[in-house]
Amino acid sequence: MYPIPIIAEALINGLMLGAVYALVAVGLTLIYGVLHIVNFAHGAFLTLSMFGIWLLWEHAGLDPYLSILVLTPVMFGLGYAVQRFIIGPAGHGRDNSILLVTLGISIIIENGLLVVFKSDTRTIATDYGFRVIEIGPLLLSWPRAVGFLVTMATAVVVWLILNRTDAGKAIRAVAKEKLGARLVGIDVNHIYALTFALGSACLAVAAGLLMPVFYVNPQTGGAFVLVAFTIVVLGGMGSVTGALLGGLLIGVVEAASSLFLGDSLGQIGIFLLFILVLLFKPTGLFGARI
């Protein structure tokens, strides 16, 4: 058995990493809640964003946290274009077709990155990467704490966009009642693309928060995609609050299972959780739609 402070430290650090998971999941659940599609390319988009952060660091010397400001509009635009010009037209509005199109996109991105960057793993060595905050006997990772705070701030921004802007109101209208929204003159395809853009923009933020403590290679997103889906399902498909809570929970579960089972087996905990939730509680633990 580990001493209590080590366990507490691991769990709190897990909680803080979970916050970044939550951000990835918020984007995914937003897209699900409005478009009712499972975006299998979400993980690949995250990988792409992480490479973006890495490129800006490597070639422009830009700090990852600052890069978020550059990358967010880029991912927003890319997300908009991909939904509007690829997924929308190619999916024909059929569940299975859309899923396959997003699978195709994820394979294209993943292997495109492989072609360009090879399979090497890249990291960013910032001077704060290993900085810690001492709270009593606990040593907490500084970049993870930043991740936690920025995630919460981003969640508030997303909430404000959804609830306080005209575009956000249109998004919620489409999520609730697609036909009705169309009847009152809302351009549903535009709103779909906008939502997809917003979900992708969340990934740019998540990538900036992840890079100081994580690494990236073309497969990185693949590991995240099932984690993100687990979170989304746990939180209730389409629920932003659920995704936030689910993300935190998953962070803790992952920290606990890798502490007790070791890193490679640790991942199993997440997949098993995913399977169990889908089998026995597919409406999620926290319910509530956006």
Partner 1 sequence: MSARDLFPILPVLLVLAVLPFLGLSGSLVNLLIFMMIVTLAAQGWNVLGGYGGLASFGHAAFFGTGAYATAILQTRYGINAWAALVAGVALGSLVGAFIGFLTFRSGLKGSYFALITLAFAEVLRILANSSEITGGGAGIVVPIDYGFENLQLRDRRFFVLLAVVCVGLGLVITRWLDRSKFGAYLIAIRENEDAARALGVDVMKVKLGAITLSAALTALSGVLYTQNFLFLDANVAYGPWISIEALFAAIVGGLGTMFGPLIGAVVLLGAGEVTKEFSGGIPGFDLLVFGVILIITVAFAPNGLAGISLKGFRRKKSGDGAGASQDGGADA
Site residues (CB under 8 A) for partner 1?
37-38, 86, 89-92, 95-97, 99-101, 103-108, 110-115, 118-119, 218, 222, 226, 229, 262, 264-265, 267-268, 271-272, 274-275, 278-280, 282
The answer to whether the CB of 235 falls within 8 A of the CB of 243 is yes
Q: How far is the CB of 96 from partner 1 (least distance, A)?
A: 5
Report the 10 Å Cβ neighbour count for 115: 9
CA distance 34 to 194: 10
- Residue among 134 and 280 whose Cβ is closer to partner 1: 280
Query: By 3-state DSSP, what share of the chain in percent is helix, strand and coil, each rounded to 5?
Result: 75, 5, 20
Joined together, the tokens standing for residue 241 give 């609050």
Q: How far is the CB of 224 from partner 1 (least distance, A)?
A: 13
Q: How far is the CB of 257 from partner 1 (least distance, A)?
A: 11
For the chain, the first-to-last Cα distance in angstroms comes to: 41
Pairing of strands 132-135, 122-123: unpaired
Report the 10 Å Cβ neighbour count for 40: 20
- Residue among 50 and 162 whose Cβ is closer to partner 1: 50
- Residue among 70 and 278 whose Cβ is closer to partner 1: 278
Q: How far is the CB of 282 from partner 1 (least distance, A)?
A: 7
Give the distance, in angstroms, between the CA of residue 242 and the centroid of all CA atoms in the same chain: 13
- Residue among 150 and 270 whose Cβ is closer to partner 1: 270
Q: How far is the CB of 69 from partner 1 (least distance, A)?
A: 30
- Residue among 91 and 208 whose Cβ is closer to partner 1: 91
Q: How far is the CB of 57 from partner 1 (least distance, A)?
A: 23
CA distance 197 to 75: 7
- How buried is 124 (Cβ within 10 angstroms: 0-12 exposed, 13-18 middle, 19+ buried)? buried
- Residue among 129 and 222 whose Cβ is closer to partner 1: 222
